[in-house]
Amino acid sequence: MSDLSVETLNILGEHDCLRTDQTVDRKRITALLIDQLTEHHIAQSMEDVGQVEIDPGQLTQAIFGADPVDLVDLVKPLLSTGPDGAVQAGLENGYMLCSGRMSVDAVVAGQPKRVSFASRFLSADEAVIQAYLYDPRLRRAESAGENNRRLGLLVIQRQPALAARTSTWKNNLQQAFQLALTPGSES
């Protein structure tokens, strides 16, 4: 906790997010995030996304009334859209925490610039979940597959004697990915 500023510690204390031993209560912060998201940031359809998405700094500001960098940095990991993300794991009623990108026009170093931020919002709508949860992961998996394919080709180009090992490596990658997606393979 020593890496948190006095300002952030005071803010956390004011919102009952510090335990008696002065450690951060991430469960309490998660509950505040879930409350804010369920009250103000639910996309009922694709058309709602632009109106309800919020970036972690804005979300921190809305909950705590301030957004010091170290507090935003504390909040961000709780907003992971993966299955182990604190907010994602704490949601109920069919909602999924989704991520998007929002852009704003800003002036940076005296020059107008369009700045993009990661955003978060909730949805139980199938089309929204497909577009903002499934599809981005599919694109990342495709990109990882392409990068591994290119790496294998590069190894073979530079080390032709490793062609058989590269083929085995690619087969192992395919099997590992397939196994990870197979229900019941968690054990």
Domain boundaries, the chain: 1-123, 125-187
pTM here is 0.84
Measured CA to CA, the distance from residue 187 to residue 52 in angstroms comes to 38
Measured CA to CA, the distance from residue 34 to residue 72 in angstroms comes to 15
Can you give the pLDDT at residue 181?
A: 87
pLDDT tens string 133-147: 999 999 999 999 999
For tokens 């031993």, what's the residue? 21
Phi, psi of 112 (to 5 degrees): -65, 140
Binned at pLDDT 50, 70 and 90, residue 14 comes out as very high
The dihedral region occupied by 92, where left means phi > 0, alpha psi between -120 and 50, and beta the remainder, is beta
pLDDT tens string 112-123: 888 888 999 999
Average pLDDT over residues 103-115: 85
